[in-house]
Chain A
Amino acid sequence: MKRYDMIIVGAGPAGLSAAVEAAKHGMCVAVFDENAKPGGQLFKQIHKFFGSKEHQAKVRGFRIGEALLKQANELGVEVLLNAVVTGIYADKEVIVRHNDTVRHVKGDTILVATGASENMIAFPGWTLPGVMGAGAAQTMINLHGVLPGKRVLMVGSGNVGLVVSYQLMQCGCELVGIVDVAKKIGGYGVHAAKIARCGVPFYMGHTIVRAEGTDHVTGVVIGEVDEAYQCISGTEKQLDVDTVCIAVGLSPMSQLLDMAGCQMQTVSAKGGTVPVCNADGETSVEGLYVAGDVSGIEEASSAMIEGRIAAISAARKLGYLGEAPASEEISKLQASLEALRQGMFAPGNRGKIIEQTEEGIRISNSLLTKGYLEEQEIERFPGFHTQKGIHPVIECTQNIPCNPCQDVCPRHCIMVGDNITALPVVDENSACSGCGLCVASCSGQAIFLVNDSYDQTHASVTIPYEFLPLPAVGTIGVALDRSGNPVCEAEVLSVKANPAFDKTNLLTMKVPKEMSQKARFFAVKSSEQKG
């Protein structure tokens, strides 16, 4: 029976990071993944990640995946694909199904990094073709290049629902609406805002009553819910859609750990049944580690750090790394992990109602219920100020761990400070050159450049723009406000697609002066965006 220092189940962000880390310390590692391609969910993540430089903020997820895979290959990590781990037995014996045989391998340590599966909700019509998990839709568009449908209803306003909604729109789908039984949007306000300004309505406090159709979805009925989340009769509304995406949370895929004899616990905040583990990710079975979503639903950035911590801990256990260097590395990584777990959306804040920011500023209720800030609300946040000439307006109003805007500004006009969750502050006398690096670096697409004195009667507004085709310079279209309503005519002054912007194009439009704080999106024709 072949023996490895570490057997890793799952080649996603956690598993690959662990493999790289373990291999760096000289460990003999095997990674098994049931899929045909490595990377787990990373290669589906075409959006820019949040965080700081050390968390690879503003880098698109799939690029992080490519880099990890390259590192793993360079270090000689064995990644076996189409390899299904069907069981973990006593003495860390792992059974892997590969092609039409099963093989037995042994690991001195094992890391289970199997991730999570999507939750479903049952409603009449939920088994019709056209109803699918949001993650499934994301796999279709981003990995296979197949549109799931043309007109989509998203159920769930967490980050998965919001991110996938946006990506479906980027692929040309029409987002008919986002429904959530919760009264408030669950995901980042900045993710909601970039959908809202395209004109997508948020139906908060609504549920899906049924999907209609005989052999595929031809429509849905949604309705308002009461306190018990039951549809209030008479509030039903029919929507014309051919696709329903469900984004109502994830469940850890922890069955392997249960059968391996780990002590398990069911914790709602972690998404379901997870193994009990220590700070290194070691379970009650010595030498059996977990990292990533299988140990509690979080995100790829934290999964990568958890994977590395587990690998270092295993290296120490097996003598590949001394006590002192291992502890030092682990504390550094734990600090980095801690930084990601700060802010309003921190795991510890789940379910809590947060009314003001760390700075003591009232949170926008409109952002939480409709997905966009009201114009008059922007002014109370430190990213807003007016000055002569071009300057950034940062519509970042929730404390999330993210600071690339501060790092990229060559003139140091933007300040987040040491506290990574602080709201960015724009310097009163910013020497903004209008380079646009901040606009492109903001993973939440929440930074705009405004010049109130473009000419006597016009202002220019620069927006991040990630839709194709790019409008040509000189195109006359309409400017949309934060809610997606057309507010005025707009002329495209420039479209910059600098490689440094990494596909976040900078579209600058000319609008009447009084529209400079209203115009936040551009549409070639209003009818195309409003649906």
Chain B
Amino acid sequence: MKEHENLRVKPIQWHSEPDDDLIICRCEEITKGEIRKAVCDGMVTIKEIRRYLRTGMGLCQGQTCGKLVKGIVAKELGVKPDDLEPATGRAPVRPVEMQVLGKESEE
């Protein structure tokens, strides 16, 4: 956690890149530019990005974009993707409708 705080002290200046409009999180339609912008806004962990933008919060639960988002954030921060704290696994690990979640079977 401490390391992430170190990342936070270096302000990152926003500059646009030609592929900023590339969609990265398909479920929530979040672009590369939005993710890069979030890092400039001070989001330095995957958890923070997830809460800020909803990347990886859609139907596939980050199965498709998880590594892509991590790669973009790491590049922006100038660290290795593996050095970033992975997103926390939370229940339900697959999307479940609220009406189902509230309906417990007796078995």
Query: Interface residues, chain A, CB within 8 Å of chain B?
Result: 2, 34, 84-87, 89, 95, 97-98, 100-104, 117, 119-124, 126-127, 251, 253-259, 264, 266-268, 272-273
Contacts and interface: CB of A to CB of B under 8 A. Distances in A.
B96 interface: yes
B104 A256 contact: no
A306 B65 CA distance: 29
A256 B89 contact: yes
Interface of B: 19, 22-24, 26, 32, 61, 63-68, 82, 86, 88-94, 96, 99-101, 103-105, 107
Contacts of B66: 251
A452 B94 CA distance: 61
5 residue pairs, one from A and one from B, having the closest CB atoms: A87-B91, A258-B89, A255-B89, A86-B92, A101-B105
A84 B95 CA distance: 10
A123 B24 CA distance: 9
A251 B70 CA distance: 13
A259 B90 contact: yes
Contacts of A122: 22-24, 32, 68
Given A255-B93, A259-B89, A266-B82, A127 B105 contact: no
Given A122-B24, A124-B22, A254 B89 contact: yes
Nearest to A255: B89
Given A101-B100, A253-B63, A2 B93 contact: no
Nearest to A104: B104
A273 B92 CA distance: 18
Nearest to A96: B105
B67 A87 contact: no
A215 to B, nearest CB: 15
A268 B82 contact: yes
A372 B68 CA distance: 33
5 contacts: A100-B99, A100-B100, A102-B100, A127-B23, A255-B89
Given A86-B92, A103-B105, A255-B93, A264 B86 contact: yes
A402 B68 CA distance: 36
B26 A86 contact: no
B51 to A, nearest CB: 17
A117 B32 contact: no
Identify the interface centre among A123, A259, A268: most chain B CB within 10 Å of its CB: A259
Contact of B104 (A85, A101, A258, A272): A101
B91 A86 contact: yes
What's the dominant secondary structure at chain B's contact region? Answer: loop
Contacts of B94: 34, 84, 86, 97
Nearest to B19: A124
A117 B104 contact: no
Contact of B100 (A97, A257, A258, A264): A97
Contacts of B89: 254-259
A97 B64 contact: no
Contacts of A101: 100, 103-105
Nearest to B101: A102
Contacts of A123: 22
A2 B106 CA distance: 10
B105 A120 contact: no
Contacts of B103: 100-102
A126 B32 CA distance: 13
A334 to B, nearest CB: 28
Given A127-B23, A273-B86, A120 B92 contact: no
Contacts of A95: 91-92
Contacts of A104: 104
A357 to B, nearest CB: 32
Given A87-B92, A97-B100, A119 B107 contact: no
A86 B82 CA distance: 26
A191 B107 CA distance: 49
Nearest to A256: B93
A251 B94 CA distance: 16
Given A86-B91, A103-B104, 17 more contacts: A97-B96, A97-B100, A100-B103, A101-B100, A102-B100, A102-B104, A103-B107, A120-B67, A120-B68, A121-B68, A122-B32, A251-B67, A254-B89, A255-B61, A255-B90, A257-B89, A272-B86
Given A122-B68, A127-B23, A266-B82, A98 B105 contact: yes
Identify the interface centre among A97, A121, A253, A259: most chain B CB within 10 Å of its CB: A97
B105 A102 contact: yes
A383 B19 CA distance: 50
Identify the interface centre among B32, B65, B103: most chain A CB within 10 Å of its CB: B103
Contacts of A120: 64-65, 67-68
A102 B95 CA distance: 13
A127 B26 contact: yes
A84 B96 contact: yes
Contacts of B22: 122-124, 126
B95 to A, nearest CB: 9
B67 A272 contact: yes
A257 B88 CA distance: 10
